Chains A and B, each alone.
Chain A
């Protein structure tokens, strides 16, 4: 059965309005947050229930047609890039918060629920959902599960994986099952969260809610240089403080943020550091004074302390707008996402600066300094021939730097289609083969979001293990071994 036949079957299950085949309407879904990868989906479906998703998946399996799940489409690595020859399953209609259970500090949600909406619903009970990706106003929790999303505050509170207790999933066989932590047996949930939609589609998520802190204290410290800011970060971590967040911006990203949102950061700063502490008042007060002292000792020439939420929002405004803001100082840009051991920050940033000078490509640095997660923004003029390619090259060299320093090619944006080619630089063939054993267990047909994460698919029919007999070709006399 071709896509047209499939679309007809979907209409029988879902009704006309939930199946999109009109090319004009399909175009809405041709990319996710990584807009330079585009593909028109063959069919888009908008199911309301897990049973419908299971039925859709079973139809796809029977027809041998690939399918991709999509939440809000905010991902930055092309994880929800559709297939022209496949089906895009959009979970955005499944947006009910099924339960808020403060007594057990948990909530049950459908995958399309917007991250921030859950926090809003939990707040009257004194709770919130801790993972806070910068897209939290629009990103879905199902997408957070797929990508194992982080955010500025994951330094202290961890990633989505730490906050998900169970998922009801539709397996790539079209079965509905539940995987959870501490349920006995293998921790399939641990493998599922962050698998970028390649192991199935989550249809119901039980998450942990976190108690709202008694106190939040935020400061902005301005330094002459990135090095001085880096020294402050090391001193803070070295003092045994675990801040909720430590964010740093360099001169170029400050310039951009200033142009875009007039955040009023101290003029002349070579770097600004945002440090946020939260927790019991007795604890935070003491540590905050320590952080202030350490910043001054590292050479901060100005420190601003937020005295209320409005001032805190002002401090965060520049940082949160940084990605979009570089549009004010550059016609186009690439957002990179790499990780290095935090102590390597000064060396790596100096090297990025050198690479930038050598290639003439400007780089604005914004990063989660506490956990060494860099977001270099590589600027270029897309009207200039070859500029995009030079930017791509520089961006790739930054990833090489991350790997050389024992880091990772992605801290929170995921591998998707964007970085699958970089995976062999971080992992051996055996590493990737072993990861794909999990994929073969879940999705032997390879129809669930194929072409993502791994550079080359593993043939699931292959039995891993030591070959005991001669190679079949040798046996048949068609080949010889030397």
Chain B
């Protein structure tokens, strides 16, 4: 290994042996490399290819415990040294950054110019690359779309160490395949994301959060539908509930000062007499629910009452469900120690959601649960996905086994 380490050391200044605490779901990396430039990252990946090393990218470790453990992990590529803002073209509402920059830091840089990347970060400290690799997002995707919709250009280092880019730094661009979307949500299995360009939005002059509590999911659902079909163009419509208990609906309205007041008042009227209007979000806003197991549920918005009912009947009373009722994407936090306590409700959900269509993916779970259940559930077009993987990573060295279908 020292031979490999020195080969890596020749191309990257920051290379060392992995530490016991650096395991990826228990799989210890033999080595860690932290390139500081894209060229260095490419060289590291080239050496990894020559030496047949299994590579797992790591940003700020906010989601390193998601998915399955890698089948092997010889080299962790730490991207946090790639943290430059490459170009912020404020007049064009476009920014290009390196992947190791945190989304929070990016927000600070942009806010100084009255702009933002309209992408919520459920886990503080997440890097741009990690956020893309996990296709993470939050409440405001209702109006602004998710990471894949805001990404306009991407640079990756391929499995063979070559640098490839797609898209560009203009918003409107249909030249070539959109590899950015393909990489978004690929969990490090297709390549190392090293740079990303995004379209930006102006920071709104004013924001208002309208919240209201409802006795049950039926009433909350009716309120959501009212707001969804209104003319008030909410940026987000969220729900937060403990299964079996009351449901809170939260609506975000953004815009000019004069408009937001009137729109928030109109939304409050739709939500009923108990509605409250505030400048600041409720404390649960945009955060994943707690619990040892996190399940991401996707289905059309009308499925909400059914999902809550299935969870209640599946023995999940007390679990927290939270997420975008407008888009149809929620997270469920389960406090389940035993595999059947997850497997049972998961199977129920998948059965009722499949035809809608929808699904339920377990993001993280205790080891015992993780080993017993299918984290991803049925994934359509899996054979095509395997072929994509074979093309991008013929040696199956990039985050092997971390992804759907064992990819």
Which residues does A use to contact B, with CB under 8 Å? 101-106, 126, 147-148, 150, 154, 158-159, 161-162, 166, 171, 177-191, 193-195, 211, 213-214, 234, 237-238, 240-242, 279-283, 285-287, 339-343, 368, 371-373, 406-415, 419, 423, 426-428, 430-435, 437-442, 453, 463-466, 468
Contacts and interface: CB of A to CB of B under 8 A. Distances in A.
Contacts of A189: 181
A339 B169 contact: no
B391 interface: yes
Given A161-B178, A187-B184, 19 more contacts: A104-B301, A161-B181, A183-B359, A187-B182, A211-B231, A213-B231, A237-B93, A240-B114, A279-B233, A283-B263, A286-B256, A286-B258, A339-B170, A410-B174, A414-B174, A431-B165, A463-B394, A465-B159, A465-B160
B164 A433 contact: yes
Given A279-B233, A438-B177, A466-B46, A184 B359 contact: yes
A184 B404 contact: yes
A479 to B, nearest CB: 22
| The 9 residue pairs across chains A and B that have the minimum distance between CB atoms | A190-B181, A240-B202, A283-B259, A214-B231, A434-B164, A437-B391, A282-B259, A408-B173, A441-B387
Contacts of B394: 463-465
Interface stretch (B16-24, B337-345, B372-380): B372-380
B158 A408 contact: no
A433 B49 CA distance: 18
A372 B361 contact: no
B242 to A, nearest CB: 25
Given A194-B177, A438-B182, A287 B256 contact: yes
Interface in B180-237: 180-182, 184-186, 190, 201-203, 205, 225, 228-233
A340 B170 contact: yes
A178 B258 contact: no
Contacts of A154: 172
B387 to A, nearest CB: 4
Given A179-B380, A187-B182, A280 B232 contact: yes
B172 A234 contact: no
B182 A442 contact: no
Q: Which residue of B172, B256, B380 has the most chain A CB atoms within 10 A of its CB atom?
A: B172
Interface in B392-407: 392, 394-395, 403-405
Nearest to A405: B170
B244 interface: no
Contact of A183 (B166, B231, B357): B357
Contacts of A434: 156, 158, 162, 164, 166, 179, 392
Contact of A283 (B175, B186, B256): B256
Contact of B384 (A188, A283, A410): A188
A222 B161 CA distance: 53
B356 to A, nearest CB: 9
B346 to A, nearest CB: 13
Interface residues of B, number: 86
Contact of A441 (B46, B92, B388): B388
A83 B258 CA distance: 58
A191 B384 contact: no
Contacts of A106: 300
B79 interface: no
Contacts of B160: 464-466
Interface string B78-113: 000000000001011110000000000000000000
A468 B51 CA distance: 10
26 contacts: A103-B225, A103-B302, A179-B381, A191-B181, A194-B178, A213-B233, A280-B255, A287-B256, A339-B170, A339-B172, A343-B89, A371-B172, A406-B169, A407-B168, A407-B173, A408-B168, A408-B170, A411-B173, A415-B174, A415-B175, A426-B175, A427-B165, A428-B164, A428-B165, A434-B158, A438-B182
A161 B174 CA distance: 10
Given A191-B181, A464-B391, A185 B172 contact: no
Contacts of A161: 149, 178, 181
B229 A187 contact: no
Contacts of A186: 182, 185-186, 190, 385, 388
A409 B173 CA distance: 8
Contacts of A368: 172
B114 A190 contact: no
A154 B305 CA distance: 34
Contacts, number: 259
A354 B149 CA distance: 37
Contact of A104 (B46, B148, B178, B302): B302
Interface of B: 46, 49-50, 89, 91-94, 114, 135, 145, 148-149, 156, 158-166, 168-182, 184-186, 190, 201-203, 205, 225, 228-233, 255-256, 258-259, 262-263, 298, 300-302, 328-329, 357, 359, 361, 376-377, 379-382, 384-385, 387-388, 390-392, 394-395, 403-405
A180 B394 CA distance: 25
Contacts of B300: 101, 104, 106
A147 to B, nearest CB: 7
A468 B387 CA distance: 23
Contact of B380 (A177, A372, A468): A177
Contact of A466 (B49, B135, B232): B49
A177 B225 CA distance: 31
A411 B148 contact: no
A147 B178 CA distance: 12
Given A340-B170, A431-B166, A441-B388, A282 B262 contact: yes
Q: Which residue of B49, B169, B387, B390 has the most chain A CB atoms within 10 A of its CB atom?
A: B387
A190 B388 CA distance: 13
A8 B163 CA distance: 48
Given A161-B181, A240-B114, A410 B173 contact: yes
Contact of B174 (A148, A182, A187): A148
A184 B379 contact: yes
Contact of B169 (A341, A428, A431, A463): A341
Nearest to B93: A237
B91 A409 contact: no
